[in-house]
């Protein structure tokens, strides 16, 4: 009963945050800054790339696919938490470009919120019954978060009529920030997967390590992007791309966790 109450409270907070965001958009519409068509284009430009990546990653679990309903809830949860993340990040605004502490705080807020959303929506549910499910659902919540965040980034140049900048922003985030969210959340998912069959204390330790690694990688990426310009940013993107390749390889090991455990029991 207490768990249901907790879920209800979390849902109220999520709906409340989303309501505040919609009210802000409504006020912006009234001042004529953002029009409904521009908002529609931004939302489509944010969601479609995330759905493409989601389709790619779901193929890794094609033998025992997750329920579409749960995937949808998890994706939407990732989107809904964005309006809550932003005000928390605004509490740490002192010289973000020069202050590593602020960069770490912003990265930590995003990673903790994504993990919390996935945990309350699905990770503690009986349908998440395999180690690989931990990774799949963490990636799904990350892509939902990235979809909403990308839409916000695309919206700014759209409002200013900068079509080329809009396209460039969308492309850069498709291959950069979106994959960063995937990789960071996947680190937590991998930690959960390797602790799936272990006792609770070990699972908690693995979870803590996964969250710390995710925050560290996210903060490193953000700091590197802020310190580089132009072509130098590609070296930072390359770190993420290499990480994605390694993630694909780790996926194969995660798939075998259950079989190895079964053989040893």
What is the full per-residue pLDDT of the chain (265 aa) written as tens digits? 344 554 555 555 555 555 545 544 544 444 456 666 666 766 787 788 899 999 999 988 877 888 888 899 999 999 989 888 988 888 887 655 567 888 899 999 999 999 999 998 889 888 888 899 999 999 999 999 999 888 877 776 665 555 555 455 555 665 678 899 999 999 999 999 999 999 999 999 999 999 999 999 999 988 887 776 555 667 778 888 899 999 999 998 998 886 544 444 4
Mind spelling out the 3-state secondary structure of 135-204? HHHHHHHHHHHHHHHHHHHHHHHHHCCCHHHHHHHHHHHHHCHHHHHHHHHHHHHHHHHHCCCCCHHHHH
User: How far apart are alpha carbons 32 and 60 in whole angstroms?
Assistant: 45
Those residues whose C-beta lies under 8 Å from the C-beta of residue 57, and which sit 6 or more positions away, are 136, 139, 140, 143, 182
User: How far apart are alpha carbons 126 and 145 in whole angstroms?
Assistant: 24
What is the reported pLDDT for 8?
Answer: 55
pTM of the model: 0.81
Question: Which of 231, 210, 145 shows the shortest CA–CA distance to 182?
Answer: 145
User: How far apart are alpha carbons 104 and 125 in whole angstroms?
Assistant: 30
User: How far apart are alpha carbons 114 and 141 in whole angstroms?
Assistant: 6
> How wide is the angle at C-alpha 178 spanned by C-alphas 53 and 134, nearest 5°?
65
Q: Where are the domains of the chain?
A: 36-264
Contact 185, 111 (CB under 8 A): yes
User: How far apart are alpha carbons 92 and 86 in whole angstroms?
Assistant: 10
What is the reported pLDDT for 27?
Answer: 45
What is the reported pLDDT for 6?
Answer: 47
Residue 253's CB: how many other CB atoms inside 10 A? 13
| CB-side neighbour CA atoms (13 Å) of 139 | 28
3-state helix, strand, coil in the chain (%, to 5): 85, 0, 15
């Amino acid at each position: 009963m207490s768990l249901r109450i907790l879920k209800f409270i979390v849902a109220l907070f999520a709906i409340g945050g989303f309501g505040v965001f919609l009210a802000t958009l409504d006020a912006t519409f009234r001042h004529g800054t953002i029009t409904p068509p521009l908002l529609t284009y931004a939302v489509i430009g944010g969601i479609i790339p995330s759905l493409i990546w989601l389709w790619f990653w779901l193929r890794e679990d094609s033998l025992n696919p997750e329920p579409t309903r749960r995937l949808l809830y998890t994706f939407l949860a990732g989107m809904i938490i964005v309006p809550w993340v932003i005000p928390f990040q605004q509490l740490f605004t002192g010289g973000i470009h020069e202050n590593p502490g602020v960069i770490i705080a912003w990265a930590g807020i995003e990673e903790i919120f994504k993990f919390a959303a996935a945990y309350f929506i699905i990770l503690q549910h009986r349908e998440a019954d395999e180690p690989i499910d931990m990774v799949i659902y963490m990636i799904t919540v990350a892509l939902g978060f990235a979809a909403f965040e990308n839409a916000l980034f695309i919206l700014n140049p759209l409002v200013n009529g900068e079509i080329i900048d809009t396209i460039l922003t969308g492309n850069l985030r498709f291959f950069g920030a979106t994959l960063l969210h995937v990789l960071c959340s996947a680190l937590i998912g991998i930690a959960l997967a390797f602790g799936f069959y272990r006792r609770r204390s070990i699972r908690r330790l693995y979870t803590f390590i996964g969250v710390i690694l995710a925050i560290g990688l996210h903060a490193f990426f953000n700091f590197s992007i802020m310190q580089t310009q132009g072509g130098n940013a590609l070296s930072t993107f390359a770190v993420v791309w290499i990480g994605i390749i390694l993630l694909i390889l780790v996926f194969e090991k995660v798939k075998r966790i259950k079989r190895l455990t079964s053989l040893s029991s």
